[in-house]
């Protein structure tokens, strides 16, 4: 990469800080309740009770809140995104997940202009980019350069600091076409925030695909088409396959396709994990109470329960499911940096301005 001038660094930080919400303050009441439940779920007595009842009783996760589709905005000149988490981004309510931008299918004409976001820094978390249509080209300050296409994932651990850029690939830019992708920000525990940066390219062919489980065995004969889960991240004991993503805390990332409508399916999710259900395409009901979630809407689930019930109300519905064990640590987020204290944010700014980040 080229050397960034001091003026360029200051401009980048000012723009990124305006786009991403400021330093997160005290946790909300909902986050406090969630923290109390996490302590209960982690107690030895509770773990033994969960283990003893696991084979005899299925407990369903129920909806805590449903968020509709927010207004879209542009990130750079290549990503027209829904900020899926609304004002809950960077809060403990969704931990360990921090932010979720979804670029719905959009037609781009052929162009000689680069479309995307130029060099910018990150520290203290991971970015996960999923491509469904089109191609995304990545380059960073530690020498990684790659292009991901439909079904591929790039998992970048910024950790102590990295400078990267993301654009439509050169081939896609010149040919044009439909572009659809998502970028997720995943927090790192404090003990991993200052480790060496890492890049995991995950190709579609390396992501295991497992069948969705019918809630009612008699519905199995009705199934046609693809009713599957692509397991990008998740525990082998839970899903019966080894997911390709190597994570720093217990996390589930599932790309779900439901061909059949009006057939309930059950998805296992560990009890005590925050669970976020995003509808990319179509419409679903979720939980035993059949709460409706429309296209580009998201359901936030309670921590309790070990099974998520999903029913598509439209054929060929597609869902992205994010879950994970909450990280019970303070969140300090400012611009492109996510740390635990305001002082660590100031240090990240200082390191970037002095050219000490991204090595």
pLDDT of residue 127 exceeding 60, the answer is yes
Taking Cα atoms as reference points, which of 117, 116, 95, 94 lies closest to residue 12? 117
What angle, rounded to 10 degrees, do the helices at 6-19 and 342-353 form? 150
Structural element, H or E, at residue 209: strand 209-211
Position 57 confidence tier, pLDDT thresholds 50, 70, 90 = confident
Predicted confidence (pLDDT) per residue in 288-335, tens digit: 899 999 999 999 999 999 999 999 999 999 999 999 999 999 999 999
State the average pLDDT for the chain: 89
Instruction: Give residue 140's pLDDT.
Output: 94
- DSSP 8-state assignment for residue 345: H
Predicted confidence (pLDDT) per residue in 212-250, tens digit: 999 999 999 989 999 999 999 999 999 999 999 999 999
Instruction: Give residue 75's pLDDT.
Output: 96
- DSSP 8-state assignment for residue 192: G
Instruction: Give residue 8's pLDDT.
Output: 62
- Cα–Cα distance list, 143 to 28, 156, 312, 352 (Å): 40, 12, 43, 18
Q: How many angstroms separate the CA atoms of 128 and 254, rounded?
A: 13
pTM above 0.75, yes or no: yes
Q: How many angstroms separate the CA atoms of 79 and 69, rounded?
A: 16
- DSSP 8-state assignment for residue 4: P
Both tokens assigned to 19: 């786009």
What would the mean pLDDT of 86-111 be, rounded to a whole number? 97
Instruction: Give residue 38's pLDDT.
Output: 55
Label the pairing between strands 264-268 and 307-312. antiparallel
Q: How many angstroms separate the CA atoms of 70 and 73, rounded?
A: 10
Taking Cα atoms as reference points, which of 255, 252, 251, 205 lies closest to residue 230? 255
- Enumerate helices (H) and strands (E) in the chain, giving the number of each: 6, 25
Position 359 confidence tier, pLDDT thresholds 50, 70, 90 = confident
Instruction: Give residue 26's pLDDT.
Output: 41
Task: State how far Cα 301 lies from the chain centre.
Answer: 15
Taking Cα atoms as reference points, which of 131, 196, 191 lies closest to residue 162? 196
Q: What is the DSSP string of 78-113?
A: TEEEEETTGGGTTSGGGTTEEEEEEEEEEEE---SS
């Amino acid at each position: 990469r080229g050397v960034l001038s001091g003026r360029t660094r200051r401009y980048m930080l000012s723009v990124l800080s305006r786009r991403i919400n400021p330093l997160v303050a005290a946790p909300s009441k909902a986050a406090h309740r969630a923290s109390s439940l996490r302590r209960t779920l982690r107690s030895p007595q509770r773990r033994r009770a969960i283990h003893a009842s696991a084979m005899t009783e299925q407990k369903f996760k129920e909806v805590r809140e449903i968020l509709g589709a927010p207004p879209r905005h542009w990130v750079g000149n290549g990503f027209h995104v829904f900020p899926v988490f609304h004002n809950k981004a960077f809060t403990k309510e969704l931990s360990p997940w921090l932010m979720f931008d979804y670029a719905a299918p959009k037609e781009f004409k052929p162009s000689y202009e680069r479309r995307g976001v130029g060099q910018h820094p990150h520290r203290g978390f991971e970015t996960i980019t999923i491509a469904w249509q089109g191609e995304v080209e990545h380059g960073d300050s530690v020498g990684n350069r790659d292009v991901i296409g439909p079904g591929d994932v790039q998992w970048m651990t910024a950790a102590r600091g990295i400078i990267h850029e993301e654009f439509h690939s050169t081939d896609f830019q010149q040919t044009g076409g439909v572009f659809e992708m998502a970028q997720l920000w995943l927090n790192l525990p404090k003990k991993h925030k200052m480790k060496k940066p890492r890049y995991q390219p995950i190709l579609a062919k390396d992501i295991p695909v497992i069948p969705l489980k019918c809630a009612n065995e008699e519905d199995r004969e009705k199934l046609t088409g693809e009713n599957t889960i692509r397991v990008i991240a998740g525990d082998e004991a839970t899903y019966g396959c080894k997911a390709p993503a190597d994570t720093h805390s217990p996390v589930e990332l599932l790309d779900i396709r439901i061909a059949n409508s009006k057939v309930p399916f059950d998805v296992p999710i560990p009890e005590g994990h925050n669970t976020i259900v995003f509808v990319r395409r179509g419409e679903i009901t979720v939980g035993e109470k059949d709460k409706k979630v429309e296209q580009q809407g998201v359901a936030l689930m309670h921590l309790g329960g070990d099974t998520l019930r999903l029913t598509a109300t439209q054929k060929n519905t597609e869902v992205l499911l994010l879950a994970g064990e909450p990280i019970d640590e303070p969140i300090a987020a400012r611009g492109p940096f996510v740390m635990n204290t305001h002082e660590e944010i100031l240090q990240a700014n200082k390191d970037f301005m002095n050219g000490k980040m991204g090595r």
